[in-house]
Amino acid sequence: MTHEYMEQQNMLLGAAAVAASPLAEALLPGKEGDCADDVEAQLPSYHTGASFSRTCLNLANAVSGIGVLSMPYAVAQGGWLSLLLFVVVGAVCYYTGTLIEHCMRADGSIASYPDIGQFAFGAVGRRAIAFFMYVELYLVAISFLVLEGDNLDKLFPGASMELLGYHLHGKKLFIVVAAAVILPTTWLKNLGMLAYVSAAGLVASAALTASLVWAGIAETGFHKNNSSALNLTGLPTSLGLYFVCFTGHAVFPMIYSSMKNNKHFSKVLMISSVLCSLNYGLTAVLGYLIYGDDVQSQVTLNLPTGKLYTKIAIVMTLVNPLAKYALLVAPITAAVEERLSLQGGGRASRVAISTAVLASTVVVASTVPFFGYLMSFIGSFLSVMATVLFPCLCYLKIYNTDGGIRRSEITAIAGILMLGVFVAVTGTYTSLQQIVGTF
């Protein structure tokens, strides 16, 4: 940004905020930034918010998700060597996460992902990022309810009940039940409290992997009925699924702002990314070793019915969306509060808005046909935009105006942008083919 804009911001924030500005921290090697430490330690925000461990839980829960179910299928599509691309995708997503952190440090007034777009590209940048981010989060939240309804309907077929004069049965009934369980978690504004919910999601992911190990040892066994080492035609699908596993960047700014000491965000991001990558990789290898080329798009569909480990796997699959829903819709609720100027409206306004957002996702999840296929198309494109393209473009705009970025880093970012565009184009094309193929 221009010096005039920065001077205006400094005048608005006041002397104390300027002294504690994250711009005083070192972004590139060789720059000093220790002078703000003492000032920041005296600020009230330093002593409030989520601790390091709770932030780890929230961030790991944001990164991990139901994408783990498709990891064996991703390997089946691309071959064993596609796991190298999984490592690359994980590294890229970690790096773009650190770019979001640097963008957050550019100015003390930045508190959300759209704020980054505003600071980098003005009102146009804010609107673009807000559109992609909120649509992605909203659709993912709906997909969670769809997943809950479908799986619970398979687990308890034929269930029905009367509710407020309406007869609910099957998928619609369980969508409402899942929403009722989720609702109290959406009322929590403190992300430190959401850490307990996040812990349940992480336990569910680990239990799902354990169920696969149980299935391999007790029932199917491990075999080598697998495809070639590399399948070029299946690589676009594999890449798209790998990127889905690491989406969550839209909530990174909120998690960053919730920390007691956000200087440790990169460490939290590293720990969370490594733990989630290990779980993803282990699930991919075990699922593919057990079921080979016959593995389905959701590995739980391969598990034999009636088995204890199958029931455990399904239940754990259901717990994960329940644990993640509140974290995903938190930015949407905050945006609605800001739009309606209700930030200071207290708990009642937040409860009302959170309930309204949840109710709208229930209606859409219950009525939209073929939503799963549409999510495959929309989610791939939106996720790449939020995870790869926007962080890189905003970082370049903010820090390269005066040549503050090394050429080697610019080259790396250019390569990441090319990869993101490739995945967006090929993933969209493949998803469209899948949608057309269902008719």
In this predicted model, what pLDDT tens digit does every residue of 358-405 receive, in sequence order?
Answer: 999 998 888 765 555 566 666 677 778 888 999 999 999 999 876 678
Strand partners of residue 168? 161
Q: With 0-12 CB in 10 A as exposed, 13-18 as middle and 19+ as buried, what is 27?
A: middle
State the CB neighbour count (10 A cutoff) for residue 112: 24
**pLDDT for the residue 150:** 76
92-117: per-residue pLDDT in tens? 999 999 999 999 998 888 888 889 99
CB proximity list for 154: less than 8 A, separation 6 or greater: 314
Please choose, from the candidates 304, 416, 427, the residue with its C-alpha nearest in 3D space to the C-alpha of residue 375: 427
Please tell me the predicted confidence (pLDDT) of residue 373.
Answer: 58
Instruction: Dihedral sign for Cα 397, 398, 400, 405, please.
Output: negative
At 408, which helix (H) or strand (E)?
helix 407-437
Please write the tens of the pLDDT for every residue from 167-199: 777 778 888 888 888 888 888 766 555 556 666
Average pLDDT over residues 287-303: 79
Q: pLDDT, tens digit, for every residue of 316-353?
A: 777 767 767 887 788 788 888 878 876 555 677 878 88
Confidence (pLDDT) at 221: 64
Pair of tokens at residue 297: 């798009």
Please tell me the total number of residues recorded for the chain in this structure: 439
CATH number of 47-437: 1.20.1740.10
Q: CA-CA distance, 429 to 56, in Å (whole number)?
A: 35
Over range 147-173, report the average pLDDT. Answer: 76
Predicted pLDDT of residue 120 = 93
Q: What is the pLDDT of residues 204-247, one digit of tens each?
A: 777 777 877 787 777 666 665 555 678 887 787 788 788 878 87
| Mean pLDDT score of the chain | 76
pLDDT over threshold 70, residue 123: yes
Helix (H) or strand (E) holding 162: strand 160-163
Q: What are the extents of the domains in the chain? A: 47-437
Residue 86: what pLDDT? 93
Greatest distance between any 2 Cα atoms in the chain: 69
Per DSSP, helices labelled H in 106-169 are 113-155
Of residues 284 and 37, the one with the higher pLDDT is 284
pLDDT at residue 20 tops 90: no
Check residue 230 and report its DSSP letter: -
Q: Helices (H) and strands (E) in the chain — how many of each?
A: 16, 2
Give CA separation, 342 vs 261, 265, 339, 350, in Å.
Answer: 27, 29, 8, 8
Local confidence band at 438 (pLDDT 50, 70, 90 cut-offs): low
